[in-house]
Amino acid sequence: MPELPEVETVRTGLAPVMEGEVIAQAHVNRPDLRWPFPERMSERLTGARIERLRRRSKYILADLDRGETLLIHLGMSGRMTVSGDPLGQFVHDHPQAEKHDHVVFDMASGARITFNDPRRFGAMDLMSTVESESHPLLAALGPEPLGNAFNEDYFIAAVKPRRTPIKTALLDQKLVAGLGNIYVCEALFRAGIAPTRRADRIATPRLAALVPIIRDVLAEAIAAGGSSLKDYRQADGELGYFQHNFDVYGREGAPCRTPGCEATIRRVVQSGRSSFYCPQCQR
């Protein structure tokens, strides 16, 4: 499932052709994805101007001039691609419609944004913009890891009392929004902390050091266009490249990349998810 860097990359790619532009026609080609689409979705979107395109955790939010906000979640296999961009940033002509093109936005500018989702684990919803933070999917989310509210004092106070593995704590969206399996594994490797170590048993300075490390990993992944493992594509259809920089994720049995370390990367299952780590470098 796309994590924060992938969603932010998609948002950044969509912004030039969506922000400030009018949806000339919204085509909704099925009644649902993970759950039913909101009532009269096509009618409520057609003719609306997108005033702002933002991200919260792993959700893209499009604020409309009608006082509503469109919430978009890519799910496991969803992707949003742009064609026919008059600004010249997306040179692709409009492609032939595909079987899993479930929602299509034809913009007044001539651009087209297609939401394709073969596995249909994605989602869209419409809500009042002024009440968007109270939406059931957003209300309980913690601070953004790249925002000012995610700082050392907050992180230590939130994590230190926890008697769960640090990997489990970091994946709790109520603690910090948007972190996923890939980037937590990578951040813990850089911090030298084993994913299985209990959060309450990690020294305070080591916890504090995790904050800038998490920020750095996410920023590097965004700069690389995210990580493409299966279905993920950027808005222009291109792959992300951060997967080539993985130190531990998906590298079970491979040698550790730390100079002088002779260990190999191991995998352990935690809460149904694979954690990758170096048994020598991470304690």
Helix (H) or strand (E) holding 186: helix 181-191
Q: How far is CA 214 from CA 30, 69, 145, 282, in A?
A: 39, 29, 7, 16
| Amino acid of residue 230 | K
Question: Which residues are tagged catalytic?
Answer: 2-3, 58, 273
With beta carbons less than 8 A apart as the criterion, state whether 117 and 75 touch.
Answer: yes
Residue ranges in 19-126 assigned as alpha helix (H)? 41-45
Could you give the CA distance from residue 96 to residue 82 in angstroms, rounded to a whole number? 13
HSE value, Cβ hemisphere, 13 Å, CA-based, for 131: 6
Give dist(CA 43, CA 46) in Å, integer.
Answer: 5
Q: Residue 81: how many CA atoms within 13 Å on its side-chain side? A: 23
* Sheet strands (E) in 35-191: 50-56, 59-64, 68-73, 79-83, 101-107, 112-116, 123-128
